[in-house]
Amino acid sequence: MDLSMKWLSDYVKVDEPIKKFCYDMTMSGSKVERFDTEGEEISNVVVGKVLSVVPHEDSDHLVVCQVDVGKGEPIQIVTGAQNIHGGEVVPVALDGSTLPKGIKIKKGKLRGVESNGMLCSLGELGLTVHDFPYAIEDGIFVLQDEEGCEPIKIGEDIRDAIGLNDTCVEFEITSNRPDCMSVIGLAREAGATFDVPVELKKPEYKGVGGDIDADLSVEVKNTELCTRYAAALVKNVKIGPSPRWMRERLRGCGVRPINNLVDITNYVMLEYGHPMHAFDLRYVSGNKIVVRNADKGEKITTLDGIERELSEEMLVIADAEKPVAVAGVMGGEYSGIMDDTTTVVFEAACFNGASVRTTAKKLGMRTDASSRFEKGLDAENCYDALMRACQLVEMLGAGEVLTKIIDKDYSDKTPKCVDFDSKWINNFLGTDIPESDMIKYLDKLGFEVKDGKAYAPKWRIDIEVKADIAEEVARIYGYNNIPLTIIRGVAQAKLTPEQKYTRKLERTMLSIGCNEISTYSFVSPKNFDKIRIPADSPLRKTVVITNPLGEDTSVMRTTIIPSMCEVLARNYNYRNAVARLYEIGNEYIPVSGKELPDEPARLAIGMYGNNVDFYDIKGAVDEIMEEMGIMDYDVTACAEGCPIEEYVAFHPGRSAIVTKGDTVLAIMGELHPETLENYEIGVKAYVAKLLIPEMMSVSVTEKTYKPLPKFPATTRDLSVVCDDSITVASLEKAIKNAVGKILEKVTLFDVYKGSQIAEGKKSVSFSISMRSMESTLTDEQADAAMKRVLKAMTEFGAELRA
Amino acid sequence: MLKEALEKIGAEAAEELKNISDSKQLEDLRVRLLGKKGELTAILKQMGGLSAEERPVIGQLANKVRADIEEQIEARKTALKDELTAKKLKSEVIDVTLPGKSQKVGKLHPLTIVLNEVKDIFTGMGFDIVDGPEVETDHYCFEALNMPKSHPARDTQDTFYINENVVLRTQTSSVQIRTMENRKPPIRIISPGRVYRCDTVDATHSPLFHQIEGLVIDKGVTMADLCGTLELLMKRLYGDDCKIRLRPHHFPYTEPSAEVDVMCYNCNGAGCPLCKNEGYIELLGAGMVHPKVLEGCGIDPEVYSGFAFGVGLERIVMRRFGITDMRLLYENDLRFLEQF
């Protein structure tokens, strides 16, 4: 809401500097976004009178003027304007003056003739013909005295002479206060804020007699959605420009003046906060207005020239044949005021806010009117607005108002009231405000307090509960006068096991040198193709956003892997040579039969550069598993039917899943060359995804001390030659089983393929450490264990290396 | 005669020791003089021919000579070792200004750094941290927060819809509702997390960002408690001289409602371009929980009262680190991430 301070001062006198006004209004609840002083950029421009005009000797389009600027001697100014002939009163920019858009005027010579300034056009003063309808766009702005304004004086500052001296304050009004979307509403707030009287008069008009019923009938068919419909008729309309005071106030509130009738409706809307509609009686077929729901499939061409199809729940203003306006949203084509309009119907009505909102949204046209109606407007104010419009018509001599009006009123007249209990309010706010102060504040805001009740003024549609009264008191008392206290009582806070687990994961990731990233949870469905997910994969069943910003953020991710790939790609593209990254984030998995998806937490790891290979990412995963208390898990190569769908994103020979029993914990590996290509990553990159809830389910978080060994360990080395296809893990497992209880540790120390080993074979060497907790192992015990190991090895076709 | 021989050995030993330059020569000398077959032993063997008077005298002298030589050898040994060590150390000098070998520790994302800090502040004040779904029903995101379908306030939160009844949560207040439905007062929680709004990406907007919302419900909770709690939070985050300012505002789920400004850290309230000459920067929204919201969650507003607040994490993070473009937070450029 833009507010003209001139207009405000019609109702309330606030004697404060503008900055203080804005600050205090903000602090009492009407937030000021900014303020602009009109004509601020204009300086040293005065009213001058052109005394004489002679042609320029060296030019056929320039003239030389002598101008009286009220300083005794006239000054000489050269101009190229065609509408200056002598005798005109004009704006004169003197030497050293400034104009809008940073223009500076200095004296100088034009084709050898001295010019001591410039005669200004409307445009040069930042104005248009809407502001001064009597002036012309193309030429010097020739000033005229206007009715109701001080006569223009030679030498006077131009801003004062033409009323270009308003201050426009922009308020951000919250949706619960549609009453403040008006000059009067803000005047009331200013009155309460600065503790000054607000002068409001009930608008009245004289009328010329006559019977409206002869010309117009109104029927409200849906009194739920239209609680009041008031109409007045104006005959013998004289369309013309509005007077300057009205144009100034409209301009100060950011509205362009058009003509007297249109300006009146806008003026009333700004002043009272109630949208008005004016339409030409000629186009009301059957001289009948029906407020009704639209028929199914009914169409209307709105003022903006677009044909719109209506639906049954929408409320329309119709004549005997067709809808002429969408109630509270927009008028129909031809319904507006034309130059040859002679009889005008003024409508002020009250429509159901929710209905207007739904209609406007459905038709995709939110208008100034609809945005006011949808917040809920006061039915009594609607009548005042119509009265004011009639009054203005008479003041402006814009037509003859018939004395009788139509007023169909179905509104609820019960005043809103809530309990008033000063003790409760103080307890609720934590304050100690005297009851008499509270009553004073409320009175200023239009409330009436009596018998333990606060009666809200009719325009306060937002008052419903006693907390609302507490807010009224608090904001006038001043939020910042409320003391600062600390909540009492003891509360025990602790992290949930999940939160603790995540914190520990975080610490682990940092200590293994990974940087945390944070990516969007919505992604492009194209990601599935990029990581080679088959068309029928369940991963492609996503939570889809119906109104996304774009395709690339249109579905909630069902896999965190593409997010990591994208970040790896971006860093590769930025020529960051090495990357070690992790993210803890959610996946969003639709569950059939459930309204909301599952949102399991995942840990993604990504790395490239520094000659990393599969064993780096595996090492990272091993470290995490150990740190998180997961022991004895299995790592197996990914194969067809892998329980983690994303396995196809990886190199088939360099990827693995981690499981413990039946629980799948992670997938890791080198990205498939095609995946790398799709993301334009030019180096080998490694990615892992760890399933956090699954990990938690198998983590042993409680640690118990195991006594340190008292007896020495016996270590035996073992080198075997076996088929290349046999995994080290399977040999290791066999060794563990074969050694049994006395096994302390099996450590792989060499894998060799090459000249001394047959083709298709490899040599694998382990160091086997054995220890008993009860006694020193004998050689015989160790030998026996090794014998069992060798036997186990032969089952793999592995032989002791010669 | 034996006496002369002993004295001679002593004198010769002193002379030879001067020329010895390594430990092997030293050992050889020791064996030659003091060993079982050494010169001194040889002389002592002749002592049998001495008279009873001479014997103790020569014996004493022999012991003295032996002790002298041993002492000298030991001294020489130490000197040789010191020389050797000094030489070795000298040969091992390196350029300590060469770069160290990398042992990188990872960095937390700036959002997590501050989020963890905020969480710790609140857990210290007795607040539990509660998580909840990001894909949320219209009921928890709006209806239960006193924002029915036709409510105009919905327009200020441009919402991503999954279907008519499911949205991406626009605020973590949904978690507060879930908590109030499941727990009995006293309640003291914060609900941090991702929220979503249809905002086009630019330097200060992101369609996805993080909010931290707080909720306190108990008997006798006042608006003064809200002001005090918020001031405490801001002092912990920005230092003890930080001030806050509350402005009346409107949220459908609180009454009274406030917007909370925090004193500009750049100019300490004097006014500067960063705070648009206001001296304060808008940081969070807060208020007393609306009685309708309490009622809807089965909490009697006649018995209990409470306050709630919500703050955007990105805004705090950007202020903390002087980040001017929100996009950097989600771009994950290592050159950015490694700065924190």
Does domain A417-476 match CATH 3.30.56.10?
yes
Collapsing DSSP to helix, strand or coil, A291 comes out as strand
Handedness of CA A134, A140, A142, A143 (dihedral sign): positive
The per-type count for chain B, helices as H runs and strands as E runs, is 12, 10
Which pLDDT tens digit goes with each residue over A328-337? 999 888 777 8
Copy the structure tokens of residue B249. 């505002």
Percent of chain B with pLDDT over 90: 52
**How would you class A492 by CB atoms within 10 Å of its CB: exposed for 0-12, middle for 13-18, buried for 19 or more?**
exposed
Collapsing DSSP to helix, strand or coil, A665 comes out as strand
Which pLDDT tens digit goes with each residue over B150-204? 776 676 668 999 998 999 999 999 999 999 999 889 999 999 999 999 988 888 8
d(CA A712, CA A785): 16
Q: Is the pLDDT of residue A543 over 90?
A: yes
Looking at residues A98-114, what average pLDDT do you find? 92
Minimal Cβ distance to A518: which of B131, B133, B329: B329
Return residues 141-200 of B near A (CB < 8 Å).
150, 152-153, 155-156, 160-163, 165-166, 168, 186, 188, 194, 196, 198, 200
Looking at residues A402-411, what average pLDDT do you find? 93
Q: What integer pLDDT is reported at residue A551 of this predicted model?
A: 93
| ∠ Cα B303 B307 B311 (to 5°) | 165
Q: What integer pLDDT is reported at residue B94 of this predicted model?
A: 92
Name, in order, each residue with C-beta under 8 angstroms of A303's C-beta and a sequence gap of 6 or more.
A330, A331, A332, A333, A335, A336
Contact A176, A162 (CB under 8 A): no
Looking at residues A521-550, what average pLDDT do you find? 95
Q: How many CB atoms lie within 10 A of CB B159?
A: 17
Q: What integer pLDDT is reported at residue B157 of this predicted model?
A: 60
Which pLDDT tens digit goes with each residue over A129-177? 988 989 998 899 999 998 888 899 999 999 999 989 899 999 999 988 9
Closest to A347 (Cα-Cα) out of A294, A300, A385: A385
Q: What integer pLDDT is reported at residue B120 of this predicted model?
A: 93
Mutate to test the interface with B, among A518, A584, A610 (most CBs of B within 10 A): A518
Q: What integer pLDDT is reported at residue B152 of this predicted model?
A: 67
Return residues 305-324 of B near A (CB < 8 Å).
305
User: Which residue of chain A has the CA closest to B105?
Assistant: A513
CA distances from A164 to A140, A167, A270 (A): 17, 9, 20
Computed over every residue of chain B, the mean pLDDT equals: 89
d(CA A744, CA A737): 12
Minimal Cβ distance to B246: which of A480, A498, A511: A480
Half-sphere exposure of residue A258: CA atoms within 13 angstroms, side-chain side? 12
CATH number of A43-161: 2.40.50.140
d(CA A427, CA A435): 13
Minimal Cβ distance to B247: which of A27, A506, A514: A27
Contact A90, A50 (CB under 8 A): yes
Percent of chain B with pLDDT over 70: 99
Contact B216, B229 (CB under 8 A): yes
CA distances from A655 to A613, A678, B299, B304 (A): 11, 18, 53, 57
Strands A299-301 and A226-235: unpaired
- pTM score over 0.80: yes
Contact A570, B333 (CB under 8 A): yes
Report residue B10's pLDDT band, with 50, 70 and 90 as the boundaries: confident
User: Which residue of chain A has the CA closest to B190?
Assistant: A493
Bond into A257 cis (ω within 30): no
Minimal Cβ distance to B333: which of A543, A571, A588: A571
d(CA B332, CA B74): 67
Fold of the domain spanning A212-409: Phenylalanyl-tRNA Synthetase; Chain B, domain 3 (3.50.40)
Q: How many CB atoms lie within 10 A of CB A497?
A: 11
Minimal Cβ distance to A553: which of B106, B156, B207: B207
Q: Does B129 touch chain A (CB under 8 A)?
A: yes
User: Which residue of chain A has the CA closest to B155?
Assistant: A175
Q: What integer pLDDT is reported at residue A599 of this predicted model?
A: 97
Name, in order, each residue with C-beta under 8 angstroms of A353's C-beta and a sequence gap of 6 or more.
A373, A374, A375, A376, A377, B150, B152
Copy the structure tokens of residue A279. 């339409």
Looking at residues A497-523, what average pLDDT do you find? 96
Residues in chain B: 340
Q: What are phi and psi of A436, to 5 degrees?
A: -65, -35
Q: What integer pLDDT is reported at residue A501 of this predicted model?
A: 96
Cα–chain-centroid distance for residue A566?
Answer: 27
Looking at residues A758-779, what average pLDDT do you find? 91
Q: Which residues of A touch B223 (CB under 8 A)?
A: 428-431, 470, 474, 482
Distance from CA of A227 to the nearest CA of B (A): 18
Q: How many CB atoms lie within 10 A of CB A202?
A: 8
Closest to B177 (Cα-Cα) out of B143, B129, B208, B149: B143
Name, in order, each residue with C-beta under 8 angstroms of A211's C-beta and a sequence gap of 6 or more.
A402, A404
Q: What integer pLDDT is reported at residue B60 of this predicted model?
A: 86
d(CA B124, CA B127): 7
CA-derived radius of gyration, chain A: 42
* H helical segments located in A513-559: 526-530
User: Which residue of chain B has the CA closest to A427?
Assistant: B222
Q: Which residues of A touch B285 (CB under 8 A)?
A: none
Q: What integer pLDDT is reported at residue B153 of this predicted model?
A: 66
Percent of chain A with pLDDT over 70: 100
Minimal Cβ distance to B108: which of A26, A174, A506: A506
CA distances from A414 to A411, A458, A535 (A): 9, 9, 63
d(CA A629, CA A696): 9
Name, in order, each residue with C-beta under 8 angstroms of B325's C-beta and a sequence gap of 6 or more.
B203
CA distances from B160 to A366, A460, A558, A710, B151 (A): 20, 32, 18, 65, 17
d(CA A89, CA A162): 12
Looking at residues B300-307, what average pLDDT do you find? 95
Q: For residue B32, give the H/E element and its range.
A: helix B23-34
Q: Is the pLDDT of residue A210 over 80?
A: yes
Which residues are A381's β-sheet partners?
none
d(CA A538, CA A554): 17
Mutate to test the interface with B, among A425, A461, A472, A479 (most CBs of B within 10 A): A479
Copy the structure tokens of residue A123. 């445009």
CA-derived radius of gyration, chain B: 43
With residues binned 3-state (H G I as helix, E B as strand, rest as coil), the percentages for chain A, rounded to 5, are 30, 25, 45
Which pLDDT tens digit goes with each residue over A648-686? 999 999 999 999 999 999 999 999 999 999 999 999 999
Contact A560, A585 (CB under 8 A): yes
Distance from CA of A371 to the nearest CA of B (A): 9
CA quadruple B63, B64, B65, B67: dihedral, nearest 10: 80
Interchain proximity B112–A516, CB inside 8 Å: yes
Looking at residues A224-246, what average pLDDT do you find? 94
Q: Which CATH superfamily is domain A497-698 in?
A: Bira Bifunctional Protein; Domain 2 (3.30.930.10)
Copy the structure tokens of residue A518. 């944070």
Fold of the domain spanning A714-800: Alpha-Beta Plaits (3.30.70)
Percent of chain A with pLDDT over 90: 80
Q: Which residues of A touch B129 (CB under 8 A)?
A: 493, 495-496, 499
Interchain proximity B112–A489, CB inside 8 Å: no
| ∠ Cα A323 A325 A330 (to 5°) | 150
Q: Is the pLDDT of residue A498 over 80?
A: yes
Q: What integer pLDDT is reported at residue A475 of this predicted model?
A: 95
Computed over every residue of chain A, the mean pLDDT equals: 93
Contact A112, A58 (CB under 8 A): yes
Which pLDDT tens digit goes with each residue over B136-145? 999 999 999 9
Closest to B248 (Cα-Cα) out of A42, A206, A593, A480: A480
1.10.630.10, 3.30.56.10, 3.30.450.20, 3.30.950.10: which CATH number matches A2-38+166-194? 3.30.56.10
Mutate to test the interface with A, among B115, B156, B219, B255 (most CBs of A within 10 A): B255
Give residue limits of the domains in chain A: 2-38+166-194, 43-161, 212-409, 417-476, 497-698, 714-800
Report residue A323's pLDDT band, with 50, 70 and 90 as the boundaries: very high
- The conformation of residue A128, written as its DSSP 8-state character, comes to -
Looking at residues B127-134, what average pLDDT do you find? 95
Looking at residues A536-548, what average pLDDT do you find? 94
Collapsing DSSP to helix, strand or coil, B83 comes out as helix
Q: What are phi and psi of A763, to 5 degrees?
A: -110, 130
Mutate to test the interface with B, among A468, A500, A516 (most CBs of B within 10 A): A516
CATH number of B110-337: 3.30.930.10
- The conformation of residue A84, written as its DSSP 8-state character, comes to -
Q: What integer pLDDT is reported at residue B271 of this predicted model?
A: 82
